[in-house]
A and B are shown apart, each in its own frame.
Chain A
Amino acid sequence: MEYVSPEGLRLDGRRFNEMRQIVAEIGVVSKADGSAVFEMGNTKVIAAVYGPREIQNKSQQLKHDRALVLCEYSMAQFSTGDRRRQKQDRRTTELSLVIRQTMEACILTELMPHSQIDIFLQVLQADGGTRSACINAATLALADAGIPMRDLAVSCSAGYLNSTPLLDLNYVEDSAGGADVTVGILPKTDKMDAKLPMETFETVFALASEGCKAIAERIREVLEENTKQLEYRRAA
């Protein structure tokens, strides 16, 4: 199948280095300490953060000098084209783990001993790149909850199809069977589905990193706007 037209346009009309539209909103779940909705094109993820709060299950506490980060990822039944049955499959567990590790790396957990931070992620619409969207949504929600972080963990995917590196794959491109990398900065390459020669990997990786930076920029704008709003309304 032709994924890139001779004019250099992809199936949804984007160029190879073009991202889908990003919409980010903070503060959507009233009960949570921090929450956010993150959209990349048709992919939409809602994140809620609770904590730092006291540890609910003491047996999970492995280290006593730092906070425990827990992450739960789920996909809404209506998120994909055909209705999917809710179950804890291998993919879900793996994704939860990946996101948890990413967020754990960026949260300054040593500042909050004896406490636990819960991140709940739910995919409302899935159209490729849910992993990236989840990480971005979680970052926004954590920032909203006022949890100290080393850096904004942002993520973006890139792939290699029809001998062109492509940024931010959607579902059709993702399932085409080409190689794809999801890059998280606080850098972490978490997965590769197909073999990718080293030299093309470089370009694909660079492309994804560029994408990450663009997302970080957007996230920072959203956060800054939010902080300003809160401060002047507080009327110090």
Chain B
Amino acid sequence: MVMRKLELPLNQTQKVRFERAMEQLQSLSSTAQNSVSVTDSIAVNHEDALLKGHGTYEVEGELLSTVCGVVERVDKLVYVRTLRARYKPEVNDIVVGRVIEVAQKRWRVDIHSTLAYMDLPHDDAVQKRKTSEDELNMRNIFVEDDVVCAEVHDFQRDGSLVLQDKSQKYGKLEKGQLLKVDPYLVKRSYNHFHCIESLGIDLILGRNGFIWVGEHFEVRDPMIVDDENSTENTGKEQSHTPLETRRSIIRIGNAIRVLSAYKTCLDQSFTLLSQRTKLKEDVYRTKVLVMLCIRSCRLACFDLTSICLLVSKQIAELSRVFWRTYFFHISDK
């Protein structure tokens, strides 16, 4: 029996501090009060026009929830947001998946949800029809077991998905590792691509709970092809990933494993960790997150500002400590 829970070896003081941090988090969380479990009735005012959303069910004039989750109200719409559940795709979501089959004219991609396909891309630069030759050359683009990043484009009538990789951001992912976390930990946000510049690492948070940690890759515009650059780049691509970057990838990967084992939302942690965003929002919550992150790895550093300054260095440091102890316990498979 594999346990889903992960216990970190904290000493007594750390344990107490950690528990206090969690309590603080609990008291701060207002939404947890709205949580419902299956067949709890949802209080609604029936006089208002009401839209029953996902996870609700009406029995004899009473609105019941059909899943465990949190009641959300948007204008007239009442729905229950599930927590642990399979990923439900929405158009324009960014997902990371693994190619499992090369079929005719399309690749079958595993995104831990319904059936998903990626069609053979149109070559926009050269407007032309897809020929049988293109089909034969499909394996030059993606083969089985490749990790790809794509966007949800459309739903088919039979419930399957069509993915697209039109932008340069999408496509095959190489030199890194794929992690799987619960999908509800990745919120929909403006940016799912993060770059931790100080470490030279790219991070893609797929909405389906697949997370890619890999070596930083410069997105180049294909329209502007500079001859010198292109030769230079191809030379660079063939080179190996430096050891330091590999280490960083593993460290960041482990940090994600800790966070997901403690069921913390990953976006915040990583917008925090990537240097782009400034810390304006919920100071407490960030503090707790960072504490969680750092506590879990035995570093006693509490001052928020110093954490903000140090965080990108420390995440490497703290996951290094963590890595030593835990890698074998929580490796992905």
CB distance from A169 to the nearest CB of B (A): 27
Query: Which chain A positions have C-beta within 8 A of B31?
Result: 231-232, 236
Binds A, one of B81-89, B146-154, B217-225: B81-89
Query: Which chain B positions have C-beta within 8 A of A53?
Result: 86, 114
Q: Per a CB cutoff under 8 Å, which of B66, B70, B84, B86 touches A108?
A: B66
Interface residues of B in 1-56 (CB under 8 A from A): 1-5, 22, 25-26, 28-29, 31-32, 35-40, 55
CB distance from A163 to the nearest CB of B (A): 36
Cross-chain contact B55 with A148 (CB below 8 angstroms): yes
Q: Does A234 contact B (CB under 8 A)?
A: yes
In terms of DSSP, what is the predominant structure of the interface of chain B?
loop
Cross-chain contact B114 with A234 (CB below 8 angstroms): no
Q: Does B143 contact A (CB under 8 A)?
A: no
- For this complex, 26 residue pairs linking A to B, each with C-beta atoms less than 8 Å apart, are A30-B3, A33-B85, A33-B86, A35-B4, A113-B159, A114-B158, A115-B159, A143-B37, A143-B38, A144-B68, A146-B68, A146-B85, A147-B67, A147-B85, A148-B66, A149-B39, A149-B66, A149-B67, A223-B68, A226-B68, A228-B32, A232-B25, A233-B25, A234-B263, A235-B289, A236-B70
Q: Does B57 contact A (CB under 8 A)?
A: yes
With known contacts A143-B68, A144-B84, A235–B1 Cβ distance under 8 A: no
Q: Per a CB cutoff under 8 Å, which of B84, B86, B289 touches A230?
A: B84
In the bound assembly, the distance between CA atoms of A140 and B57 in angstroms comes to 19
Q: Per a CB cutoff under 8 Å, which of B5, B29, B39 touches A231?
A: B29
Q: Does A47 contact B (CB under 8 A)?
A: no
Q: Does B321 contact A (CB under 8 A)?
A: no
In the bound assembly, the distance between CA atoms of A227 and B69 in angstroms comes to 6
Kindly list 12 other residue pairs between chains A and B, CB separation below 8 angstroms, not including A114-B158, A149-B38, A149-B39. Answer: A27-B4, A108-B66, A145-B85, A146-B86, A220-B39, A224-B40, A224-B68, A226-B68, A227-B70, A232-B32, A235-B25, A235-B264
Q: Does A28 contact B (CB under 8 A)?
A: yes
Query: Which chain A positions have C-beta within 8 A of B29?
Result: 231-232, 235-236
Query: Which chain A positions have C-beta within 8 A of B22?
Result: 233
Q: Kindly supply a per-residue 1/0 record for chain B positions 70-104, scoring 1 wherever the CB is within 8 Å of any chain A CB and 0 otherwise.
A: 10000000000011111000000000000000000
Q: Does A152 contact B (CB under 8 A)?
A: yes
Q: Does A29 contact B (CB under 8 A)?
A: yes
Cross-chain contact A28 with B4 (CB below 8 angstroms): yes
CB distance from A31 to the nearest CB of B (A): 7
In the bound assembly, the distance between CA atoms of A147 and B69 in angstroms comes to 11
Q: Does A51 contact B (CB under 8 A)?
A: yes
Interface residues of A in 11-49 (CB under 8 A from B): 27-31, 33-35, 46
With known contacts A34-B84, A146-B82, A226-B68, A29–B4 Cβ distance under 8 A: yes
Cross-chain contact A29 with B2 (CB below 8 angstroms): yes
In the bound assembly, the distance between CA atoms of A148 and B56 in angstroms comes to 9
In the bound assembly, the distance between CA atoms of A230 and B83 in angstroms comes to 7
Number of interface residues of A (CB under 8 A): 41
Q: Does A202 contact B (CB under 8 A)?
A: no
Q: Per a CB cutoff under 8 Å, which of A34, A52, A113, A233 touches B264?
A: A233
User: 8 closest Cβ contacts across the A-B interface?
Assistant: A146-B85, A232-B29, A223-B37, A148-B66, A233-B263, A146-B82, A114-B159, A231-B32
* Size bin of chain B's contact surface: 35 or more
In the bound assembly, the distance between CA atoms of A224 and B37 in angstroms comes to 6
In the bound assembly, the distance between CA atoms of A51 and B86 in angstroms comes to 7
Q: Does B288 contact A (CB under 8 A)?
A: yes
In the bound assembly, the distance between CA atoms of A34 and B84 in angstroms comes to 8
Q: Whose C-beta in chain A lies nearest to the C-beta of B27?
A: A232
CB distance from A222 to the nearest CB of B (A): 9
Q: Does A54 contact B (CB under 8 A)?
A: yes
In the bound assembly, the distance between CA atoms of A220 and B26 in angstroms comes to 20
Q: Does B177 contact A (CB under 8 A)?
A: no
In the bound assembly, the distance between CA atoms of A180 and B26 in angstroms comes to 46
Q: Whose C-beta in chain B lies nearest to the C-beta of A106?
A: B38
CB distance from B43 to the nearest CB of A (A): 16
Q: Whose C-beta in chain A lies nearest to the C-beta of B26?
A: A232
Interface residues of B in 80-136 (CB under 8 A from A): 82-86, 114-115
In the bound assembly, the distance between CA atoms of A219 and B100 in angstroms comes to 38
